[in-house]
Chains A and B, each alone.
Chain A
Amino acid sequence: MTADTLPLNKSGKILEIMPSPLKINLMELGFLPGKKITLQHLAPSGGPMAFRMEDTLLALRKSEAALIRVEQI
């Protein structure tokens, strides 16, 4: 599954970042395989999602979250 389908308040372990021009942007922010992310907030009507990763809260659009392949934990 990808991070955009993660249910609210559930966590996932990152498996890989899919190839895309944004891959490098995601990786430099720390989205790396093995990291744990938790979906904490959802903007209404398909808006951005906010993930907690370690001590940061990171906001991304659904289309960007779809680039992060995760395994729900």
Chain B
Amino acid sequence: MAETTLLQKTVTSRIALVGNPNVGKSTIFNYLTGLNQKIGNYPGVTVDKKSGSVQINGETFEILDLPGTYSLFPNSEDEIIAHRVLNHTKLEERPDHVLMIIDSSQLSRGLFLATQLIDLGVNLAIILNMADLAEKNKLEIKTYELFKALGVPVLNTDARNQKGLDQVKNLISQRNFTKAPSFIDIQQVIPVDMLDEVQKRFQLENSYQAYQMIRFGTKDKAIAAEDRVWLEDLTRTADFDLEEAQLEETKIRYKKITEIVTVALTKKTEPKAKSNLDKIFLHPVLGYLVFFSILFLIFQTIFTWASYPMDLIDGLFADISARISTALPDGPLTRLLAEGVVPGIGGVVIFIPQIAMLFGFLAILEDTGYMSRVVFLMDRWMRPFGLHGKSIVPLVSGIACAIPGVMAARNISNWKEKMITILITPLMSCSARLPVYIILIGLVVPDEMVFGFINMQALALLGLYLLGVVGVFGTAFLLKFILKTAEKSFLLTELPPYRIPRWSDVGITMFEKSKTFVMEAGKVILAISIVLWVLASYGPPSRMDQIRLEGEARLENVTDEAQIAEIEAETSSHLLENSFIGIMGRAIEPAIKPLGYDWKIGIALITSFAAREVFVSTMATIYSIGGDLEDELTIREKLDQQINANTGEKTFNVASSFSLMVFYAFAMQCMSTVAVVKRETKGWKWPLIQTAYMTILAYVGALITYQLLS
């Protein structure tokens, strides 16, 4: 920690990395900064601010990784960010140098952005990356010709194979960046007096910056309101078509680039024919089969592999709690620590294996180029529900855990499609619902075969998963008509060539995503855990004290250990019943009675608001099962014996159990998800709306289920 602060103090230059998507920008960023990265926020947008530091020859450079864009046109939040950083009104916030990364096999497209940067007047150097691909495509680039034509330093690298990367460090440490003369004359497309007026008002360096201001200024909320109005008036009174100017700029720029590329690039072969892998992966039938097989394999692996570290974490935190309560003197503070804070932190940490693994697999699919094929295949089937082909990634992740799913939704650029995706992902049946399903199915569904080969319990479980899927698409379909956006949905994406994943990048992604989750969501989760602990531990003092005294009195003449344990368990069960949460459970009983629940289940519903898997352990506490709480068999037996005081029937009969399962299938019951949705949507509005409608859906679904079955 001390080292980081030291480093920050002596930062000598700030360098921004810019480039098209899929050009190996993050590999170069990871190479330079390693794990020395931090993720922050840009005000007002959901784009993450990724920065890091690198030390070269005793000097510290700050590296800013700007989101991948094709141009500096204001088409998306990403491009607005690029614009805002590069044109920052505060000079000290502006990067000193810009390092532009170009995919050697996509020279023209890269030069389009590069020459815009030149016109903007930044200190620029260009890296031609992916030399291996260019070689494979039989391309030869004359770097000197490029340098001559552009006037900025040009470097060759093959970041994936670690070639030429030390040159990048040299370039940075020698500050070998140049401010080249403008590439095109923007006065060709925009009236000079208009540019001059803007340039003067905003004190800009050149007319291209003025042109940028005219186009972005009205959309950028970072610009003062009166300036925005002024800009709008300016274009309106001049009766000037900005879009036309933009198209004109594109034509002029590409024309000049083509001239350069003709000289600098020699092609030895014709463009590639269809790739053999695409013949399978994009096949109208086989493609889907392959996709679903890959999914199945990933989940199989996550469920098998993640369970070991999760059990370990679970045990570890239980152990820490136990140690704290024995080592420290008994008192409210110790109990808060042992029963509130430590399990609260444990509840955050336990998700890390799943999040890290899921993001690991997603990074591999992304890095190999397969993910964009999935988007291609699924787009058609997602669109009727107001979703985008890219929504498939969050939804699929949701089967393991909604948290990484919601985090993955940020790749969707259209606001409406992104919001729908975030709002429905938690309805997928995640792995935390599994313990609840398993214990309830075990209670009411016989372990028998139908048709000789289908297990009834497995069938019930499958039914619940399908229910989740129906909930997802049903809700999406409704939201499609509710949410409004002026943005046009589009799919314009490159299907990059297949490649071997870069394992170090995969590792860094896993680490960074887990870190973000712990840092951002962790705070909220911890806070709610503590609140719930207080509510469950305290009640009206007179009643609580009486129960404690009674418990102690009963213990006085007892010596048998089993009996002591039983009395203690009964006492704690009584305490929970009379705590604030117990009182709340009783208070909501009238509301949940029509669902077939009694107030004891009510308590479990409230405590498992934090995390649905808490249901099982709360049930165990309420029904005062001594000994090992994790032993599901004993819990199941105890639950089976419970009688609902309202109906006189078993508390967990077919109707109430299915009603409860339907409730858990739809209810939010996961504060980690709430916290992550808050983070991704930058506010409390959407997570609150989401929790509300999921609860309503859960309630109505459970009500219908119970009334139909009872």
Contacts and interface: CB of A to CB of B under 8 A. Distances in A.
B247 A47 contact: no
A15 to B, nearest CB: 14
Contacts of A42: 284
A55 B137 contact: yes
16 contacts: A27-B251, A28-B70, A28-B109, A28-B250, A43-B379, A44-B284, A50-B376, A54-B271, A55-B272, A56-B494, A57-B497, A59-B495, A60-B492, A60-B493, A64-B490, A64-B492
B379 A52 contact: no
Interface string B92-119: 0000000000000110110010000000
A46 B380 contact: yes
A68 to B, nearest CB: 11
Nearest to B105: A55
Contacts of B251: 27, 32
B104 to A, nearest CB: 10
Given A43-B284, A56-B106, A57-B494, A22 B488 contact: yes
B376 A43 contact: yes
Main secondary structure of the interface of A (DSSP, over half): mixed
Nearest to A23: B247
Interface string A20-36: 01111111111010000
Interface string A41-73: 111111110101011111111001000000000
B377 interface: yes
B106 A47 contact: no
B26 interface: no
Interface in B629-669: none
A40 B278 contact: yes
Interface in B45-77: 70-71, 73, 75
The CB with the most chain A CB atoms within 10 A, among B274, B377, B492, is that of: B492
Q: Size band of the A side of the interface?
A: 20 to 34
Contacts, number: 110
Interface in B71-91: 71, 73, 75
A28 B275 CA distance: 25
A47 B106 CA distance: 26
Interface in B113-158: 137, 139
A54 to B, nearest CB: 5
Interface of A: 21-30, 32, 40-48, 50, 52, 54-61, 64
Interface residues of B, number: 42
Nearest to A62: B380
Contacts of B495: 50, 56-59
Contact of A29 (B109, B272, B375, B488): B109
Contact of B493 (A27, A32, A54, A59): A59
B494 A60 contact: no
B491 A57 contact: no
Contact of A44 (B108, B137, B380): B380
Contacts of A61: 379, 490-491
A24 B243 contact: yes
A21 B492 CA distance: 13
A40 B493 contact: no
A23 B492 CA distance: 11
Contacts of A27: 247, 250-251, 254
A44 B381 CA distance: 10
Given A27-B254, A48-B376, 6 more contacts: A25-B75, A32-B254, A41-B376, A56-B495, A58-B492, A64-B492
Contacts of A30: 108-109, 254
